[in-house]
A and B are shown apart, each in its own frame.
Chain A
């Protein structure tokens, strides 16, 4: 076991686990997109960033790939984290404005405008489908093709691969196509139709993370 401090609360975590897991065990909400407990952590979407406090300059790290360490001091909701996370979600919405998950996240994070040009790519390249196909279905029918803005999820040579068993897991796990945002018109890149139905309450164990909570405390994803 290692001892670390998350949002001012000292806690213990099993060595080899991640900061995200440790925080969630405490009921702290760190939003994620490319993380799934059943798949290997990937660290691509950067929504789960946290501030690692160090004497000689703190840094932002993706908590899903950050191993817990003895004496670590983590802030999951500092101003720096919130500011950066908002820009990241803005960037993601700009590339997949019809994702309900993203629109909900934007509402939770208090984003009131997407300042970037909308380029609907219908995919945020989180790699969940690729990992699901490989790790859960042992198929490996999906992969990434290209790099930079040309990167996309595809099958080999864009043909229907033999490895695919039509399980539909890729579609099921996709944060963009699982449930599309049905709002007709986006205002400033946001839909706002189902914005944050949960009333804001103060969580009794909360250390000031200012996360919206329901009647049952923090929602654990």
Chain B
């Protein structure tokens, strides 16, 4: 093994380019590639046996030399998994099952015929799309990062190299100085994708210029993605770990660092695994280690697994955790670029930020800065979840409106319900109402609207969502995930939750709304870190846009969306009830009684408002009021 490693070690950029050429030359461009998504979403759909079934079938047919089966990263359309793309044609099949395997091989692979049933049909127009690029979900996206995912096997560095991988690193090492790299990143306008949106180039520059007594500097990749429903970074690490590694290497070269860390959630086993494999492969080729490509640049990356604390996504808490200390933030008057991990200058960026770097170096700042808006350049990956038809990961240029994302890409709200709000930026983001759907999404505009970009979570809510309940949900999440160090965040959020609970139970007064606002502003203004500083956003933004709902709970003891259990009652409409008795059988409390073919009645004393009767009634006879 060691011998193999030594033999393959690349000692110069020239050897590296020869290797890439030999990989590309050894590949038949006409060979059919069946790319099956093996990201976390499709794993749940059972893509592992699916990949195995394809490999078996290919072997059985004896067409291994013409067809390659590849388990790739996630192309994003998780709603429709398991996903499959056949290259080079780009034929896109969705909801693929094991039973479909023999047919796909015989029909599409051998005969070149399209299987209609596996194509995506647009529910709005009824139009079928053969190719991935024609699917409405993908049509408006600009997939600079995610587009690579289904073209490479994340466990194959050769795939990444064949796709032009590590060419940005070679370019940086051979042709660029630290200054010119930093200048390029600065001019590109790349801003940190972790939430704060700090200009990445300026951060790198400060870190490089910060004095370090023994010359030690660190680059750190924040992969502690903790927002509920968000999985952008997970997908990038799982699908294209080399892209992140290459970005970190360029950053390390620019700031003269020789040691990097990836702080990744332990709950992301596939990301940890794929990253580990990628690091081993890069080391074997000498792309990590001493004297990389003969340039004299030394660099290696360690993986550190987080224990599932949301606060450890905050830079100073993350670094404390890396040091083995309790993961709590400190005041950032001395920035981490000056004194971060182990008191050394440390440059922390998140997964998506690092993944953008190779592209900028390869194609140039001028190209990159054409994409996006005045203040926010490039693309942003969002995880579009909640009450939306096309759940998945979407990558759009900055400045696209929420309406385009929700309706054109996301396909709108399911079951003909009315759109109510979209929550951006994770638990400490805000809820944006229908009236602001034409808001262009970028760092600054979202902030103006009382929300944040965050790391890119986007939760869509429909008319059945109670905004007070939503605010309560996020505040509860944050009371549990606050580190508990500073008073406003720990105690303030806890008291906020008390008040919100009172509101949802009809026990609050109108004064409580004032108190919520006052408390929210104090938490925002006085908390130690950004978690507390943004934590009241769900409450403040819902108070700003949905104050009437709060008032309905308080004044009329009514939950307009019919969600808050203390304020709703379930009754049976005598006219509509056919007396079938299904609800009575479903009721866990045996609170429903009646005679066959006669209207049933709910005993309000026994009812726990679970809503099973309403769900089970085929005649819409159960009314929530």
Contact = CB atoms under 8 A, between A and B. Distances in A.
A116 B309 CA distance: 28
A148 B490 contact: yes
A59 B333 CA distance: 13
Contacts of B488: 46, 87-88, 91
Nearest to A69: B333
Interface stretch (A139-147, A159-167, A180-188, A190-198): A139-147
Interface in A35-76: 43-47, 49, 59-62, 65-67
Contact of B528 (A46, A127, A149): A46
From B333, B483, B495, B525, name the one whose CB has the most chain A CB atoms within 10 angstroms: B525
A105 interface: no
Interface string A89-128: 0011011000000000000000000011101000011010
**Size band of the B side of the interface?**
20 to 34
A60 B528 CA distance: 10
A65 B333 contact: yes
Given A88-B526, A143-B326, A43 B486 contact: yes
Nearest to A121: B491
B549 interface: no
B484 A94 contact: no
Given A46-B526, A117-B498, A124 B326 contact: no
Contacts of B481: 147-148
A43 B481 CA distance: 19
A148 B482 contact: yes
B483 A148 contact: yes
B220 to A, nearest CB: 22
A84 interface: yes
A125 B518 CA distance: 23
B487 A45 contact: yes
B526 A149 contact: no
Nearest to B478: A148
A149 B330 contact: no
Contacts of B494: 119, 149
A216 interface: no
Contacts of A125: 484-485, 490
A186 to B, nearest CB: 17
Contacts of A144: 326, 328, 484
Interface string B208-228: 000000000000000000000
A89 to B, nearest CB: 9
B309 A147 contact: yes
B235 interface: no
A105 to B, nearest CB: 13
A95 B494 CA distance: 10
B479 interface: yes
Nearest to B327: A147
B490 A149 contact: yes
Contact of A149 (B333, B484, B518): B484
A3 B485 CA distance: 32
A186 B331 CA distance: 35
B5 interface: no
B326 A94 contact: no
Contacts of A116: 495, 498
Contacts, number: 100
Given A46-B488, A144-B326, A87 B522 contact: yes
A150 B483 CA distance: 9
Interface residues of A, number: 37
Contacts of B487: 44-47, 88, 91-92, 124
A127 B333 CA distance: 20
Contacts of A88: 487-488, 522, 526
A136 B485 CA distance: 21
Contacts of B526: 46, 49, 60, 62, 84, 88
Interface in B514-550: 515, 518-519, 522, 525-528
Interface in B284-337: 309, 311, 326, 328, 330-331, 333-334
Contacts of B482: 147-149
B331 A65 contact: yes
Interface centre among A117, A146, A148 (most CB of B within 10 A): A148
A151 B328 CA distance: 12
B480 interface: yes
B333 A44 contact: no
Contacts of B479: 148-149
Contacts of B484: 125, 144, 146-151
A129 B618 CA distance: 63
Nearest to A143: B326
Contacts of A115: 515
Nearest to B497: A149
Nearest to A116: B495
A97 to B, nearest CB: 13
B311 A147 contact: yes
Given A43-B330, A91-B488, A144-B326, A151 B495 contact: no
B486 A46 contact: yes
A84 B525 contact: yes
B469 to A, nearest CB: 20
B557 to A, nearest CB: 21
B525 A44 contact: no
A50 to B, nearest CB: 11
Contacts of A94: 491, 495
B492 interface: yes
Which of B326, B330, B333 has the most A CB atoms < 10 Å from its CB?
B333
B491 A44 contact: no
A87 B526 CA distance: 10
Nearest to A87: B522
B520 to A, nearest CB: 10
B528 to A, nearest CB: 6
Contact of A66 (B328, B331, B486): B331
A147 B483 contact: yes
Contact of A151 (B331, B490, B522, B527): B490
Interface in B455-498: 479-488, 490-492, 494-495, 498
Interface of A: 43-47, 49, 59-62, 65-67, 80, 83-84, 87-88, 91-92, 94-95, 115-117, 119, 124-125, 127, 143-144, 146-151
15 contacts: A43-B330, A44-B528, A47-B487, A59-B525, A62-B331, A67-B334, A87-B488, A87-B518, A87-B519, A92-B491, A116-B498, A125-B490, A147-B481, A149-B479, A149-B482
Ordered nearest first, which 10 A-B pairs have the shortest CB separation? Answer: A151-B484, A65-B331, A91-B491, A87-B522, A116-B495, A148-B482, A60-B525, A43-B331, A84-B522, A46-B526
Given A84-B525, A119-B494, A151-B490, 12 more contacts: A43-B486, A46-B486, A60-B525, A62-B528, A65-B330, A80-B525, A84-B526, A87-B522, A116-B495, A149-B490, A151-B484, A151-B485
